[in-house]
A and B are shown apart, each in its own frame.
Chain A
Amino acid sequence: MFYTADMLKAFQKYRGDAIVVPGRGGRHWINISTAPNLDVPLGDPAMGGHAGFALGLALALPHRKVVLFDSEGDVQMGLGILLTVAEQRPANFYHFMLDNECYATTGGQPVPNARNVAYDVMARGAGYPRAFAFEELEDLAQHLPEILDQPGPVFVAMKVHPEIENKPIGQRSKWMRKTRLQAIADLQRELGKGEIATA
């Protein structure tokens, strides 16, 4: 088990010009990323949808890597998206999943069958051509270059320490530096040089 921030620091070295949808890792990623206009930190628009959003981006922008940091709670809530990703087979889609075995933002209650789910096996069963699971950061760091060099879709389950929040939502520190709409607008502007046609 490792910390999300440490994992994101390891990933940053290999990010290149990929679009990053940081999902539940957003609060850490905004302090690590060196290309904020290629990041889409959305917080939590509606639980269970991060993978669908990132898949949509990957399908829209097939020449650009899209890296998602999903969570096990989100994946449990929208399991069917694994089938859609596998059927669409976007070669530019890299689906990382933070597994802290709990709903950290609601007080740390365990997700269903928290300690006994093999998400990599589920992804492979859904049809992902490649799927991995890591519990040690050194092991992940060693495999990251190969994971990101090969075509997607790929699924990477990672055991991370829970960072539990118990404060009422109104008393929590706000980590997002821009609104969701601004994040998307910045991405579109960044890609506007020939890659994207916006309405």
Chain B
Amino acid sequence: MNDAVIAHLSPKVVLEELKKHGVTHVVWLPDSETNWLYLLMKAEPSLQLVAVAREGLACSVAAGLASGGKVPVILIQNTGLMESGDSIRGWLLGLNIPVVLMVGLRGWTRHGVTQDTAATYTEPFLNAFRINYYLVESDADASRISVAFEEAKKTRRPVAVLVADEYHGFNR
């Protein structure tokens, strides 16, 4: 038995974190980490889901929502994060948008060896944009989501949460 089987990230815990921080809108594009979370979010009356067709669009939508006084969260995969570079620059960093990006960390392995370049480039990408990030692998890490929300609000910058539990937590 390995660590990934023992520990997992429950979508209910993630949803509670979103509610705790007053999230009003989830701007998102589905990925393999978020299937069960989708069902919970859809059933949650305090959340409005805004689906986009390309991840960069999530940045401008979130910027508009935040400028209008709402609390969006962006829920995308690392592949889409990398596609969104200019939108992150212009719409999030450029407009001082305090938003949490919850990013499915495709390709993540605990031992560090991966053949999936999506994981290889994710952290260097975030570092290039000087976006701080927190790794969340299991329920025990869930408090880091709160840290990200508080940091985003305090610094008025985007902060990332890397969800490193693909095929386990949200798909249970």
Q: Give the A interface residue count (CB, 8 A).
A: 39
Interface-side segment among B48-56, B111-119, B137-145, B157-165: B48-56
Assess whether A60 is interfacial by the CB under 8 Å rule.
yes
- Are A48 and B69 CB-contacts (below 8 A) given A56-B63, A181-B96? no
- Are A188 and B67 CB-contacts (below 8 A) given A53-B60, A80-B54? yes
Tell me if A57 and B64 are in contact (CB < 8 A). yes
Tell me if A181 and B95 are in contact (CB < 8 A). yes
Interface-side segment among B36-44, B82-90, B120-128: B82-90
Nearest-neighbor residue (CB-CB) of B25 within chain A = A59
Most B CB contacts (10 A, CB to CB) among A45, A58, A84, A196 go to: A45
Most A CB contacts (10 A, CB to CB) among B69, B71, B96, B98 go to: B69
B64 partner, pick from A59, A79, A195, beta carbons under 8 A: A59
Assess whether B153 is interfacial by the CB under 8 Å rule.
yes
Assess whether A140 is interfacial by the CB under 8 Å rule.
no
> Chain A at the B interface: mostly helix, strand, loop or mixed?
helix
Q: Which residues of B contact A88 (CB under 8 A)?
A: 50
Assess whether A91 is interfacial by the CB under 8 Å rule.
no
Query: Closest CB-CB distance, A162 to chain B, in whole Å?
Result: 23
- Are A80 and B25 CB-contacts (below 8 A) given A49-B57, A60-B64? no
Q: Which residues of B contact A40 (CB under 8 A)?
A: 67
Tell me if A55 and B61 are in contact (CB < 8 A). yes
* Between-chain CB contacts (< 8 Å), 10 pairs: A49-B59, A60-B65, A61-B68, A78-B60, A81-B53, A81-B57, A83-B53, A181-B96, A184-B67, A187-B67
Q: Which residues does A use to contact B, with CB under 8 Å?
A: 40, 42, 44-61, 78-81, 83-84, 87-88, 180-181, 184, 187-188, 191, 195-199
Closest 5 CB pairs of A and B: A56-B64, A60-B68, A46-B90, A80-B53, A52-B60
